A and B are shown apart, each in its own frame.
Chain A
Amino acid sequence: MATITIDKVSRWFGNVVAVNDISMAIGPGITGLLGPNGAGKSTLIHMMSGFLAPSTGTVTLDGAPIWRNQQVYRQIGLVPERESMYDYLTGWEFVLANAELHGLADPGAAARRALGLVEMEYAQDRKTGTYSKGMKQRVKMASALVHDPAVLLLDEPFNGMDPRQRLQLMELLRRFGADGRTVLFSSHILEEVEQLARHIEVVVAGRHAASGDFRKIRRLMTDRPHRYLVRSSDDRRLAAALIADGSTAGIEVDERERALRIQAVNFQGFTTLLPRVARQAGIRLYTVAPADESLESVFSYLVSA
């Protein structure tokens, strides 16, 4: 059982604040670190893996500082985002070298076991430079698992993987989580995170936006006010009919765009209400477009919440 504790951590680069006063504890099981690109996820993972010092605050593993403490690597396995990994070595040589560097008693056996876990024995004699993205990711996993670590940190592990590779990796991570290991992975895709992680930490613009069960995060994301742009055969009559219902919070008639800007309170309610009202009033709908569905806007809503 191992816990990484991030306590009041900030990190800035010159004038840019990458991580702003974040506190969180990552315990056994799978945790998803979710946020848009550039939110500070990698900065956090770099600090958790000892490759970056926090500007203020502390990052510890079971109470021991991680920065400038090589002994933590006996417990941490790191799967970095970058792909370069001595491409002149074969998969076997690469994983074996990692086992040797850990000073394991039987590096050969450890390398065999790790390659078996990620099901890469079939390609272990090929140079890693010839691997596909998914294969590289799995060999990187094997190198991180070779010393049977209690903590596994993965920076954007699903990037560039095809759906089948994605499922395989998810299955593997699920097994580690079920073993009681502490698994943390970052991603900018909500669906990916909620498929895998029971616990989610959301980071937006360097700040800790939300934390908790994936259902809670999902609710936060779907229950926020949604904005739609609607064009119809009779905008004003449609507006009048819609405002009578509780799931609509506000409607603006945009004369220049010749459209309605509608703010819905309840996502589910509004999407069933709109076509029903239009049909009853005999109004044709030409355009129904979500005005703020980008992930960034969803995240920024979470920050302000």
Chain B
Amino acid sequence: MNPTVARLTLRGLLGRRRGALLLVVPALLLLVSALASGSSGNEHDLTVKILGQLGLGTLVPILGLVVGTGVIATEIDDGSIVYLLAKPLPRWQIVTTKLAVAIGTTWVFAAVPTLLAGLLLYGTKDGVALGYTVATLIAGAAYSALFLLLGVVTRHAVVAGLGYALVWESLVGNFVAGARTLSVQQWGRSVAEAVAGDAAIGADVSFGVAVPLLLVVTVAATVLASVKLAGLTLAGEE
């Protein structure tokens, strides 16, 4: 961790319009939960739907995308990354610091509201709220690492990230069962199911597979981002 890199990254992330954008995600989740908790019906099903599909399935990847790319892609785009890179700093230190900021932000803006929404909807029954919170913590970290990597390797990180989260995880994953094995969202569900001990959460990937895959993706994305950042090219502007 480099405190200066962390400070610059955090200010860039939370300052300006993006800071407000980040608030939309928890606000939406809490608003929907508050509305739903007043309605009658099967509370358990409702909670699983809101926390699973809206929270873990949609809002967490979108937040991860905004944050993961926001901690580095913006600086690469506008060229200000030069001021970090023209320093005798190990590249992995820049990447891990930015990743830590991204994960922390995702936790604050996604995991905390998930816990609150879960408690609001279903209380502490069956450990559902806790299960989804842990899942959001872990999936949020994996998304952050993945989207940070995208920010380093492509100038179209947001498009590529949306492609992964919406097209692959949601669209393809809906129709092709095999695609669900390679999906951060499904790994998260598997974690939620294991923590809550609740088969209704409906994970498609077993816990024993999900955890190693989450670890591998997070670590590999971080290592690759460090290597790619060390060879970052400022090219072809003439």
A85 in complex: contacting residue of B11, B15, B80, CB < 8 Å: B80
- Closest chain B residue, CB of each to CB of A77: B86
Does the CB pair A46–B88 fall under 8 Å? no
Closest Cβ–Cβ distance, residue A229 to chain B (whole Å):
32
Interface range on chain B (Cβ under 8 Å from partner) = 20 to 34
Does the CB pair A73–B79 fall under 8 Å? no
Binary B-proximity of A45-56 (CB < 8 A = 1, otherwise 0): 010011111000
Contacts of B88 in A (CB 8 A): 70-71, 73-74, 102-103
Binary A-proximity of B83-102 (CB < 8 A = 1, otherwise 0): 11111111100000000000
Does the CB pair B80–A70 fall under 8 Å? no
Q: How far is the CA of A98 from the CA of B233 in the complex (A)?
A: 21
Given A78-B86, A102-B88: A86 in contact with B232 (beta carbons within 8 A): no
Does the CB pair A40–B87 fall under 8 Å? no
User: Does B235 belong to the interface (CB within 8 Å)?
Assistant: yes
Given A42-B237, A46-B235, A53-B233: A97 in contact with B79 (beta carbons within 8 A): no
Interface centre among A71, A84, A102 (most CB of B within 10 A): A84
Does the CB pair A143–B83 fall under 8 Å? yes
Q: List 27 A-B contacts (CB under 8 A).
A: A37-B238, A39-B238, A51-B233, A52-B235, A53-B231, A70-B90, A70-B91, A74-B88, A78-B82, A80-B79, A81-B237, A82-B82, A82-B237, A85-B80, A86-B8, A86-B11, A86-B12, A86-B80, A86-B83, A88-B12, A89-B8, A89-B11, A98-B83, A101-B5, A101-B84, A101-B89, A102-B87
Does the CB pair A50–B237 fall under 8 Å? no
Does the CB pair A100–B80 fall under 8 Å? no
User: Does A76 belong to the interface (CB within 8 Å)?
Assistant: yes
- Closest chain B residue, CB of each to CB of A11: B235
Contacts of A74 in B (CB 8 A): 88
Does the CB pair B86–A49 fall under 8 Å? yes
- Closest chain B residue, CB of each to CB of A103: B88
Contacts of A187 in B (CB 8 A): none
Q: How far is the CA of A80 from the CA of B85 in the complex (A)?
A: 12
Q: How far is the CA of A80 from the CA of B83 in the complex (A)?
A: 9
Given A70-B90, A71-B88, A84-B80: A97 in contact with B231 (beta carbons within 8 A): no
Interface residue ranges of B195-231 to A (CB < 8 Å): 230-231
Q: How far is the CA of A18 from the CA of B235 in the complex (A)?
A: 10
Given A71-B88, A84-B79: A42 in contact with B230 (beta carbons within 8 A): no
B residues neighboring A (CB under 8 Å): 2-5, 7-8, 11-12, 15-16, 78-80, 82-91, 230-238
Q: How far is the CA of A78 from the CA of B4 in the complex (A)?
A: 19
Contacts of A82 in B (CB 8 A): 78-79, 82, 237
Interface residue ranges of A80-112 to B (CB < 8 Å): 80-82, 84-86, 88-89, 97-98, 100-103
Closest Cβ–Cβ distance, residue B220 to chain A (whole Å):
21
Contacts of A41 in B (CB 8 A): 238
Q: How far is the CA of A167 from the CA of B89 in the complex (A)?
A: 34
Closest Cβ–Cβ distance, residue A12 to chain B (whole Å):
11
B15 in complex: contacting residue of A73, A76, A88, CB < 8 Å: A88
Closest Cβ–Cβ distance, residue A43 to chain B (whole Å):
7
Q: How far is the CA of A37 from the CA of B237 in the complex (A)?
A: 11
Contacts of A143 in B (CB 8 A): 83
Closest Cβ–Cβ distance, residue B52 to chain A (whole Å):
37
Q: How far is the CA of A42 from the CA of B12 in the complex (A)?
A: 28
Given A52-B233, A82-B78, A86-B80: A42 in contact with B86 (beta carbons within 8 A): no
Does the CB pair B237–A85 fall under 8 Å? no
- Closest chain A residue, CB of each to CB of B11: A88
Q: How far is the CA of A85 from the CA of B84 in the complex (A)?
A: 11
Closest Cβ–Cβ distance, residue A5 to chain B (whole Å):
19
Q: How far is the CA of A43 from the CA of B11 in the complex (A)?
A: 31
Q: How far is the CA of A83 from the CA of B79 in the complex (A)?
A: 8
Does the CB pair B235–A85 fall under 8 Å? no
Contacts of A122 in B (CB 8 A): none
